[in-house]
Amino acid sequence: MTIATERRTLQTLVGVAVVLIALALGAGAISIPSGAGYGGVGPNFLPWVIAGVLAVCGVMLVREARTGGFRDMEQPSGAERGHWPAFVWVSAGLLSNAALITTIGFILSCALCYLLAVQGLRRAAGQEAGRLRAMAIDVLTGLAIAAPVFWTFTQFLAINLPGLTGTGWL
């Protein structure tokens, strides 16, 4: 098998995997009730949109792979291998968010997730990380992203997210 044929096969498998993920999302969306809410759409609307767009992307990837492969691809940048310490930092951020969201609330747990993930990515890129100034900027940025998302969901869309207080503002 030539390198070009092997590449084409792998690229086709990527497209097929995307289509299969879209089908799995669609199968999951079937179990979500379709009662209309705000604007006439129900809670299953967004999963169906995502499944549909993902399916279209998967089909396009398969078509592209079968008609010559992903054209004009540049050589991948970055290291030969993954940066494991960065993976640990990002994983710690995601796991801490999942573990603490009901304890310290959405805003603080998401800000902590952001801090840990960005610290890992900074370290992988060889940037300044671990210094008090960089960490303070990351915490403030995480709060600036998480707080408006929380307020939008709780105050404007009336969707309950875990908060630190019962007021709906923290």
- Give the integer Cα–Cα distance in Å for 129 and 39: 44
Between CA 40 and CA 10 the distance in angstroms is 42
pLDDT at 36: 62
Question: Do the Cβ atoms of 52 and 98 come closer than 8 Å?
Answer: no
3 state SS of 35: coil
**Poorest-pLDDT segment among 28-32, 39-43, 60-64, 105-109:** 39-43
Predicted pLDDT at 67 = 87
For residues 5 and 13, the model is more confident at 13
- Residue 9 CB neighbour total at 10 angstroms: 12
Lowest mean pLDDT among 53-57, 93-97, 147-151: 147-151
Q: What is the pTM of this model?
A: 0.59
Query: What are the residue ranges spanned by the domains of the chain?
Result: 3-66, 84-156
pLDDT digits (tens, 9 = 90+) for 46-72: 888 999 999 999 999 999 988 887 776
* Dist. CA 144–CA 57, nearest whole Å: 32
Host H or E run for residue 26: helix 3-30
Work out the average pLDDT over 13-25. 95
